[in-house]
């Protein structure tokens, strides 16, 4: 059986205030093309379909249009869950319009966690779709379980799902979680309140032949080769500049082994960071990419962003390298510096700001200024 796994579309999201609707349209077209050209049996959407619980109408129309094309132009079944950005009720409502024989759409918890069982020449495959839920909702659904953490929530869901899987069936689990050992990024919203334990052990998924995860935006495995994040199909922060985005094409063998092929995605606009002198950068080839510019000019440039946007219309951040260097001075380093010679501290700070050592004249002025401060303190 061939499964296409993706997640974290975040429809309706913006990039630093710039709309992403066209970028999402390009990605949805590529997902549809992969379903057709690779003759995929099942499409998995592992949560965070939308960026907000109340997404803009344009995002809802865009997604509904995509699902309509999947139904009309492909033979793929659909397995979809709500993530922490989604409204579980909104996702659950979509189930009423889905063919229950070919789709499993889950936004709300169920004490039974019933699977979608699909026939296959090599034996049936059971899909358990476990929507994201907070601990208070899980305690209502599973009153007999002691639920305090995200791992407790998933453990209760997995126990219910495991009991519903037919004997001998291969088992695919879809979940939205932060599995211990995986790497997050700055574009993800925490799953718990500040101070809480966010991660879950990969052992919670014991028994599953493939675990299709959402939430983390980097494609990666989590604790085992068959427990995998597809990653978000678009970059949502400059931390992801240069990151390769992909879809997971999973071939589930007769023995339950999952072979994964990453299908590269081609974003309409990439995310990149440019560093250099303003005069050099405005002579660069034009680019539509989302761009952060770090200027190395020693002094502020008049109308810097306006002139940069003539070349990079989607430039959305501008900083100066000297400001970044100044911000890099950590409290620990500052405390250590306070114990050394004050004149040396000031001279080193000047060099830190401008990449040039203090001149002899500057050192003389620093020493004189410090001496005047000392004398003033003594006379106070």
What are the pLDDT digits (tens) for 66-105?
A: 999 999 999 999 999 999 999 999 999 998 888 878 899 9
Mean pLDDT of all residues belonging to the chain = 90
Rounded average pLDDT over 330-347: 61
pLDDT of 284 reads: 96
DSSP-derived 3-state class of residue 293? strand
Q: Considering only 120-134, 191-205, 235-249, 280-294, which range has the smallest mean pLDDT?
A: 191-205
Residue ranges with strand state E in 206-360: 210-214, 220-221, 227-229, 246-252, 258-264, 271-276, 290-295, 315-320
Write down the pLDDT at residue 181: 87
> Predicted confidence band at 188 (pLDDT cuts at 50, 70, 90)?
confident
pLDDT (mean) for 5-10:
98
| Domain ranges within the chain, ordered by starting residue | 2-264, 271-325, 340-379
Cα–Cα distance between 345 and 354 in angstroms, integer? 15
Give the DSSP H/E element, type plus range, for residue 159: helix 150-164
Please write the tens of the pLDDT for every residue from 118-148: 999 999 999 999 999 999 999 999 999 999 9
Residue with the larger pLDDT of the pair 181 and 1: 1
- What top-level class would CATH report for the domain 2-264? alpha beta
C-beta of residue 177 within 8 angstroms of C-beta of residue 156: no
Mean pLDDT over 204-230 rounds to 97
Q: Which two tokens stand for residue 165?
A: 């899987």
* pLDDT computed for residue 12 by the predictor: 97
pLDDT value, residue 347: 74
Instruction: List the one residue out of 4, 95, 70 whose CA is nearest residue 42.
Output: 4
pTM of the complete model: 0.83
pLDDT above 50 for 194: no
pLDDT of residue 328: 54
Under a CB-based contact definition with an 8 Å cutoff, are residues 173 and 158 in contact?
Answer: yes
């Amino acid at each position: 059986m061939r499964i296409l796994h993706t997640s974290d579309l975040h429809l309706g999201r913006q990039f630093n205030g710039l709309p992403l609707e066209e970028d999402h349209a390009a990605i949805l077209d590529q997902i549809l093309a992969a379903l057709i050209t690779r003759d995929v049996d099942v499409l998995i959407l592992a949560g965070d379909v939308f960026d907000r619980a109340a997404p803009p109408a344009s995002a809802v129309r865009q997604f509904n249009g995509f699902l309509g094309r999947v139904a009309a132009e492909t033979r793929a079944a659909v397995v979809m869950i709500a993530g922490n950005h989604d409204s579980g009720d909104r996702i659950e409502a979509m189930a009423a319009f889905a063919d229950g024989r070919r789709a499993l759409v889950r936004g709300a918890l169920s004490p039974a966690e019933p699977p979608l069982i699909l026939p296959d020449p090599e034996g049936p495959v059971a899909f358990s779709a476990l929507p994201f839920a907070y601990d208070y909702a899980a305690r209502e659904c599973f009153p007999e379980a002691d639920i305090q953490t995200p791992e407790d929530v998933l453990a209760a869901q997995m126990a219910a799902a495991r009991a519903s899987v037919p004997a001998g069936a291969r088992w695919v689990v879809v979940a939205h979680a932060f599995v211990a050992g995986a790497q997050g990024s700055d574009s993800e919203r925490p799953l718990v309140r500040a101070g809480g334990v966010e991660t879950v052990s990969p052992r919670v998924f014991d028994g599953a032949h493939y675990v299709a995860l959402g939430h983390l935006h980097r494609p990666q495995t989590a604790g085992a080769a068959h427990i995998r994040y597809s990653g978000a199909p678009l970059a949502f922060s400059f931390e992801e500049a240069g990151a390769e985005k992909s879809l997971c094409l999973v071939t589930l063998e007769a023995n339950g082994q999952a072979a994964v092929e990453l299908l590269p995605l081609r974003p309409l606009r990439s995310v990149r960071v440019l560093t250099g002198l303003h005069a050099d950068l405005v002579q660069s080839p034009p680019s539509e990419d989302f761009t952060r510019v770090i200027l190395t000019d020693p002094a502020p440039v008049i109308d810097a962003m306006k002139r940069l946007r003539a070349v990079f219309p989607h430039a959305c951040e501008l900083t100066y390298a000297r400001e970044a260097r100044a911000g890099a001075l950590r409290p620990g380093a500052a405390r250590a510096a306070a114990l050394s010679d004050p004149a040396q501290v000031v001279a080193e700070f000047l060099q830190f700001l401008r990449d040039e050592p203090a001149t002899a004249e500057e050192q003389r002025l620093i020493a004189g200024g410090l001496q005047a401060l000392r004398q003033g303190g003594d006379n106070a």
